[in-house]
Each structure stands twice: as C-alpha cells, then as structure tokens.
Amino acid sequence: MKDEMSTQRINKKEAKGNRNDDGKVGSKQLTLAEATPGKSMADANAESEMLAELKKLENTMEELKQRTEGLDKRLTEVENRVSAKEDSHIQHQKVLSYLLHREASLASKCDDMENRLRQNNIRLYGIPEGSEKDDMVKFVCHFFKTALEIREEIDINVERAHRALGPKPRSTTAPPRSIIVRFLDFQVKQVVLQQAWKQRQVEFQGHKVYFDQDYSSDLQKKRKKVREVIKKLKEKNIRAQSPYPAQLRIFTQSGARLFPSLLEAKSTLKELGIIQLVGKAKRKEG
C-alpha cells in the first residue's frame, strides 16, 4: 500500500510539473506573437495582394482564352470562305474557258456559213464610181460580155449587183468601192471568174479591173495576210498558193506542204527567211 501511495504522489508531481511546463511554453508563444504583430499584418496584406493579382491574372488568361477561341473560329470561317472562293474561281475559269472555246467555234461556223452564202458572188475592184449610172445589173452584164472572152451560149444571169456598203469616197484619187455581183448559177459565176483570171489583163476605160471571190470581212483579212506572204515567197522564187479558206500551200524541192494557217507555218517561213506580215488589211468593206 505504501508503495502504491508513493507512486501516486510521484505521478501527481510529474503531472503538475508538466502542467507548469505547458503553461510556460504557451505563455512564451503568446508573448512572441504579441511581440511581432506588424509582421503578421504585412504578411496578410501581401498574401491578399498576391491573391488579388492571381485573380486578375486568371481573369486575363480566361479573357485571352476566349479571344483566342473567337479568333480561331473567325480564322476557320475565313479559311472556309477562301477555299470556297478558290473552288468557285476554278469552276468559273473552266466555264469561261469552255465558253470562249464555244464562242470561237460558233464564230467560225457562222463565218463559214456566211462565206457559203456568198459562194455565188464575185467582187470587182477598180471600176470608177458612177460608171454604173442607174442600173448596176445591166452595167455588169454588159461589162462581162465585152471585157471577157465568154462563149455566146453561156447565159449570164445576174441576180443582183451593188457597190460595197462602205462610204462613198469623196476624193477622186481615192480607190473606188468594190462591186459585189451575185449570179443565179454558181457554175456561170465560176466560168466568169476563171476566164477573168485566165485573161489576167481586164480593163474598163483604161482602168485595170481585178476579179476575186466575195469573202466575209474576217476571211478577207486572213487571206490578205496570206497573199502578202505569198508575194514574199515569190520574190524568193518559191511557188505558193492560198487554198480556201485561208490556208498556205508552199512548193519546195522536198514537195508541197499545206498549212491550215499562217501561225502553223511560222517556223517554216522563218527557215525560208520570210518575216510573217501581220498588219491589218487596209481595205475594209462589207
């Protein structure tokens, strides 16, 4: 019993000592906190300011994120629009190319049809203005019979005849307008034209008269350029012809070569020393 009582006393003393020690430590800690109140307030203010800056930074980042997403969306829309425009442009180019090709094809067909409608016509160049007086048909029929060596049995039936539709020249020194003659019979027209070319020298009142086919304005320009090239070839003693509509046939030692156009004959003409003439035709008549 004595030993137990002694042990309890000792434990009570230790517990009392511990309470005294805890009280001392707590007293010391409170004293330190109370001793440095300014430092704790500064830390709190700094922490508050830091939190506020972080909040602002977060807001800024969120705003930048939203703006970036908006810009990405707009950029995507622009790219889609540009892509659509490019596709549309390519499609338009294809359509335009087709339409230009189609227009050229239709223009060529129309020109061919116009020249076929003119196949019964011839043109006379060099007859002075006013020579026909009031009756052009009667005048040309009499001219053919007197100026050309045509067989009497051939009946020259002229459907109509008139001057080219260009303005009448005011000066007497200006070249007269050509005369367009339309025959009822194509074969008669060919006889008249071939005979005029065969005679070479056909005159009316001292004026040399030239006979030619009646071509459309576009074809006349093309054939005029071909004739200028043929003239240059003849100067070099090179035989050449111009088959219908505006082709070029060149006769060389290696044989005859036919070119559908002057453009396709460009390299050959260059080898022959011919500078291709591309000037516009001076005579513009309808």
Q: With 60 as the cut, is the pLDDT of residue 283 above it?
A: no
List the one residue out of 227, 151, 212 whose CA is nearest residue 178: 212
Highest mean pLDDT of the ranges 1-10, 57-66, 122-131 = 122-131
User: H or E segment at 122?
Assistant: strand 121-125
At 4 the pLDDT is: 52
d(CA 219, CA 113): 12
List the one residue out of 255, 243, 250 whose CA is nearest residue 274: 250
Which letter, b or e, does each residue of 95-105 get, where b requires 16 or more Cβ atoms within 10 Å of its Cβ? eeeeeeeeeee
At 33 the pLDDT is: 44
List the one residue out of 285, 198, 268 whose CA is nearest residue 229: 268
Q: With 50 as the cut, is the pLDDT of residue 30 above it?
A: no
Which carries the bigger pLDDT value, residue 92 or residue 20?
Answer: 92
Give the contacts of 4 (CB within 8 A, at least 6 positions apart).
none
d(CA 164, CA 131): 14
Q: With 90 as the cut, is the pLDDT of residue 43 above it?
A: no
Q: With 90 as the cut, is the pLDDT of residue 113 above it?
A: yes
Give the contacts of 123 (CB within 8 A, at least 6 positions apart).
164, 178, 179, 180, 181, 211, 212, 213, 214
What average pLDDT score do residues 230-246 get? Answer: 92
d(CA 193, CA 190): 5
3-class DSSP state of 208: strand
At 41 the pLDDT is: 81
Within 13 Å and on the Cβ side, how many CA atoms surround 3? 0
State the pLDDT confidence band at 91, using cuts at 50, 70 and 90. very high
pLDDT cut 70: percent of the chain above it? 83
Phi and psi dihedrals of 236, rounded to 5? Answer: -100, 15
Q: With 60 as the cut, is the pLDDT of residue 181 above it?
A: yes
At 285 the pLDDT is: 42
Q: With 70 as the cut, is the pLDDT of residue 214 above it?
A: yes
User: H or E segment at 90?
Assistant: helix 37-117
Q: Which residue has the tokens 């460009």?
A: 266
Say if residues 213 and 192 touch (Cβ distance below 8 Å). Answer: no
State the pLDDT confidence band at 259, using cuts at 50, 70 and 90. very high
At 173 the pLDDT is: 87
Q: How many CB atoms lie within 10 A of CB 151?
A: 7
State pTM to two decimals.
Answer: 0.61
CA 175, 160, 206, 195 torsion: positive or negative? positive
At 12 the pLDDT is: 53
